Amino acid sequence: MPNYRTINSTVACLSFMMEGCEIKKVRSNSRMYNRFFVLDSDMHFLRWEPSKKDSEKAKIEIKTIKEVRAGKNTPVLRSSGLSDQFPDECAFSIIYGENYESLDLAASSADIVNTWVMGLRYLISYGKHTLDANQTSLRTSWLSSVFEITDIDKEGQVCLASAVRLIKDLNPGMKASKIELKFKELQKEKETLGSGITCDTFVEAYCELCTRPEIFFLLVQFSSNKEYMDSKDLMLFVEVEQGVEGVTEDMCSEIINKYEPSKEGREKGYLSIDGFSRYLVSSECHIFDPQHKRVCQDMTQPLSHYYINSSHNACLMEDHFWGSSDISGYIRALKTGCRSIQLVVWDGPDNEPLIYIGHSVASPIAFCSVINVINKYAFEASEYPLIMCLVVHCSIRQQKVMAQHIGKILGEKLYLEPPNPEENYLPSPEKLKGKILVKGKKLPATCLDPEGDVTDEEEGLEMSRRFGDEHSDQVNGVSQKKLRLCKQLSDLVTLCKSVQFKDFDTSKRNQKYWEIPSLNEVVASRFANEYPEDFVSYNKKFLSRIYPSPMRIDASNMNPQDFWKCGCQIVAMNYQTPGLMMDLNTGWFRQNGNCGYVLRPSIMREEVSYFSVNAKDSLPGVSAQLLHIKVISGQNLPKPRGSGAKGDVVEPYVYVEIHGIPADCAEQRTKTITQNGDNPIFDESYEFQINMPELAVLRFVVLDDDFIGDEFIAQYTIPFECLQPGYRHVPLQSLTGEFLPNTTLFVHIAITNRRGGGKVHKRGLYVRKGKKAREYTSTKTIGIKAIDEVFRTATQPLREATDLRENVQNALVSFKELCGLPSAANMKQCILTVSTWLLNSDNTLLVTLNLSDQYPAMEAQGPIPEILRKVLLAYDTLIQTSRTLIETADAVYAKIMQAQMAGMDFHEDLHRIGAKDGLKGRKLQKAMESFAWNITVLKGQADLLKHAKNEALDSLRQIHYAAQSCGISKNGSASPDLFRTRTAAEPVPETEASGSNGAS
């Protein structure tokens, strides 16, 4: 096949089809045969040869074709033993004749499939007689008008420099050298080298350079087989693929008016390839969900229930020993949403305390200057509380100066209310808005003297010891050095008293909720590896701060997810050091309006819940999700900065990485593209199972295979919860975090439990399972008879809940497959697909949908082909299983929750009851773990059932609306009460949000 970038019109597709090409014909006996397929010159027949049939039988009349399906979406292609020999994107099927027979084909590339599918769909809808100038006039007339404006002297041509500049203005990011080369190629073909650029040459160059074929094929796929979209076509794309709810024609008309460049297109309501391309690269189609650009999480939970964006040694600009220091580091940290900032303070000359790190060569910064910066920038990026972590190495005299500066400069911003001993948790970020909390050492309440001794912070001293300056006694690696502390400074510490951590049992008995330990990453890593469940449980109530090991004198960063997965809220990062770890931190805190606070998963907050960070697969109460990613193409990729490359262009490849709990960590890489590397076509798909979605982060990294020195081109990191499904552009960032202008990746995203992404050609998590093969979730035996009896009452409701969900899911998959659609498709797509079969028939409607009932029936209007009979049967099964689910889910849900609540009644006395029943030591610990497991499972399964009911209701709503819009409804209209659902933009109360783990 020629370079498929030249396939940028229907005419080009049909021209290629009339030349013909070799395609494999797939038979039901799992055998494949090479055949040469060609479109007749009169465009009435599709033929293939050689064939054992006579030549008159080895053909299909175009007007008998009912549908053209891309991908493995017929029974033959799904069951063929040979289907693994070719990828999904290389398969397509032609459904034809009154009996809906299928011709199943496998091409050598996705490009060939796209060309044949587009050309055939066009012929089905319009026939050969519509190939006139009107089909391309939108684009040509627009480009001609743009050219005329540039042709000031009306000579019919412009100079090469003006033509290059014009295309560059229309396509920012494209290299001028590439445009100039294309003009010279075309002039050479036309033997006009050296003369000006004519309008025809300009239009031709623009169409070849600026038509992204992956977008052109996508447009035709949704455009009712025209070369533009109208508002109804766009509605289908925005709702089905992009997952947007409540789409209207008015919304789509606004999109057309905003992005369509041609005046004629805007007037007629048409979105051309150029308008569609502009729309897809706009912020409206970025991968990041705009809802997360504002604070969208519940901010009324205790402070310990949030991850907090934290900076370590913000004064340093480079490494700990040789790096320079500057106050701008604090400004940068605060402006990027940092909510916990560290100040290591030492005695300075003239009785003015200084901030610096041990014995580095960096110049110190005046303490009062930093406090002034904090006062100015503390709430510029976020209105939520800022924790100011003081590590004090000052004399009493200079401590008093510190206290005076803090009190005078920060004033009313300081939170000075003492903690309430009657409470059990810290106040919420919402309650602490606009306040600065001082974290530091505090004198005991019994100390009435103006100063006293406290155990010194080990942090800060460690760096000094690294260089042989300080020596102190230690017990178990913890400093025992005493610090003399003045009362004025002590009194500024209220909710964040620094304490030393001994062990989890001691903390459980003695620690107050307002006390916070700071743990060296080495110590914290040991706890995370040896006592992960205890660490998670500890962090439900208390804040913990993790800081980098002093061995990191290069200011490298630890992996924050090693500690986030254990619930650690404050993981201090060296903001000045770019790279993977800082990318993870920056990306992670984008998800809640970049306010510096991210609500931890409910399973890590609830008093009774089971969570093991070392789980190998799915967790109780959390529904695993499948993430499908197709990396389609890259746009305007630059050379790596500082690279001494061997060639003039990049040879890029992309790593797709998943970071999260160990069971979720994975990576895949695309092939390297050696041609057209600045605008590569990758076209590769990957699938990841995400067992803990709320802790997962997706990272795209673009690297150069042809480099000397640096290979890094760009990256983008995004929390799983912020992904938008469908066709999306990924804005790429440099190593230091700046967004690269016009540099993107084009991807397709589909997630099993989210709207949109409807064209993924894989089954997702759901595979049909009969009841015998079905896996039922059950509770664990605790060993305490009374409690086991309570949990046993949930056994039958749990089985019923699984059956209700699985029966609907199996029926859905069967119906979608008969419609020739993948399992990720939604019900609206299914009904629209079926409607095209009926409306394309020469007869009257063969089937209608009776909308007079809330469970709409599909009714045959006379004799129908066997395939439609199967569709009707599958549809009826789907409606019946959905009805059973909708009408019985609430009762089953109530039984499960009743068992959960009855179990919770034992929670307070569980330890005593277990001891009374003779359980002790490891057996008692195991019983308590099983209890937490059971509580988590019951809540998770109840949430799954509730979500399944909502999805079933949504499917019925889609059936009603789709049937009305495509004209196959018999009567009736959608019931607003039955189908009323919350819109995506509506805030979700915490009680419901906590159940979102169970969504499937």
> Which part of the chain is CATH 1.10.238.10?
138-273
Exposed, middle or buried: residue 15 (CB in 10 Å: 0-12, 13-18, 19+)?
middle
Q: What is the mean pLDDT of the chain?
A: 84
> What integer is the mean pLDDT of 220-236?
80
Burial of 38 (0-12, 13-18, 19+ CB in 10 A): middle
Cβ-contact 660, 561 below 8 angstroms: yes
User: Token digits for 517?
Assistant: 């330990």
Residue 683, judged by CB atoms within 10 A of its CB (0-12, 13-18, 19+), counts as middle
- Predicted confidence band at 609 (pLDDT cuts at 50, 70, 90)? confident
Architecture category of domain 303-462+482-604 in CATH: Alpha-Beta Barrel (3.20)
Residue 397 token pair? 């005299």
pLDDT for 992? 38
Band (980; pLDDT cuts 50, 70, 90):
very low
Using alpha carbons, select from 252, 230, 253, 226 the residue that is nearest to residue 239: 252
Which helix (DSSP H) or strand (DSSP E) does residue 785 occupy? helix 785-792
CATH of 138-273 among 2.60.40.60, 1.10.238.10, 1.10.3720.10, 1.10.10.10: 1.10.238.10
User: What are the CB-based long-range contacts (under 8 Å, 24+) for 58-65?
Assistant: 60/94, 60/96, 60/103, 61/96, 62/120, 62/123, 62/124, 62/127, 63/127, 64/96, 64/97, 65/94, 65/95, 65/96, 65/120, 65/123, 65/124
State how far the Cα of 907 lies from the Cα of 810, in Å rounded to an integer: 38
Give the H or E element holding residue 34.
Answer: strand 32-39
State yes or no: pLDDT of 156 exceeds 60.
yes
Q: Measured between alpha carbons, how far is 563 from 544 in angstroms, rounded to an integer? A: 10
Neighbours of 472 (CB within 10 A): 13
Q: Is 165 exposed, middle or buried (0-12, 13-18, 19+ CB in 10 A)?
A: middle
Q: Using CA atoms, how far apart are residues 501 and 503, in angstroms rounded to an integer?
A: 6
At 239 the pLDDT is 83
Across 83-108, average pLDDT? 86
Question: Under CATH, to which class is 625-752 assigned?
Answer: mainly beta
Minimum mean pLDDT among 115-124, 256-265, 627-636, 838-847: which range?
838-847
> Cβ(83)–Cβ(77) under 8 Å?
yes
The rounded distance, in Å, linking the Cα atoms of 803 and 809 is 10
SS3 732: strand
Distance CA 736, CA 734 (A): 5
Mean pLDDT of 691-719: 90
* Residues of each domain in the chain carrying CATH 2.30.29.30: 10-126
10-126 fold: PH-domain like (2.30.29)
Of 194-203, 262-271, 784-793, 958-967, which range is least confident? 958-967
The pLDDT value given to residue 982: 37
Residue 677 near residue 695, CB atoms below 8 Å: no
Confidence of residue 460 (pLDDT cuts 50, 70, 90): low
Render pLDDT for 890-901 as a digit per residue (tens, 0 to 9). 999 999 999 999
Q: Which tokens sit at 994?
A: 């906590």
Q: What are 506-561's pLDDT values in tens digits? A: 998 899 999 999 999 999 999 999 998 899 999 999 999 999 988 888 888 999 99
Q: CB burial class (10 A; 0-12, 13-18, 19+) of residue 852?
A: exposed
Binned at pLDDT 50, 70 and 90, residue 87 comes out as confident
Two tokens, residue 168: 């560059």
Q: Of the ranges 211-225, 245-259, 303-317, 481-495, which one carries the lowest mean pLDDT score? A: 211-225
Residue 699 pLDDT > 90: yes
Number of Cα atoms under 13 Å in the Cβ half of residue 616: 0
pLDDT at 842: 57
| Predicted local confidence at residue 592, as pLDDT | 97
Residue 840 pLDDT > 80:
no
Closest by Cα among 69, 68, 97, 93 to 80: 93
Residue 608 is predicted with a pLDDT of 85
pLDDT at residue 768, as a whole number = 41
Residue spans in the chain of domains classed CATH 2.60.40.150:
625-752
Residue 413 pLDDT > 90: yes
The sign of the torsion formed by the CA atoms of 412, 414, 420, 425 equals positive
Name the pLDDT band for 322 (thresholds 50, 70, 90). very low
Strongest mean pLDDT among 84-88, 104-108, 775-779: 104-108
- Closest to 172 in 3D by CA, of 831, 731, 636, 557: 636
Confidence at residue 538, expressed as pLDDT on a 0 to 100 scale: 94
Whether the predicted pLDDT of 709 surpasses 80: no
Residue 647 confidence class, pLDDT cut points 50, 70, 90: low
Residue 317 has pLDDT above 60, yes or no: no
The whole-model pTM stands at 0.85
Q: What end-to-end distance do the CA atoms of the chain give, in Å?
A: 42
Percent of residues in the chain assigned helix, strand, coil, to nearest 5:
40, 20, 40
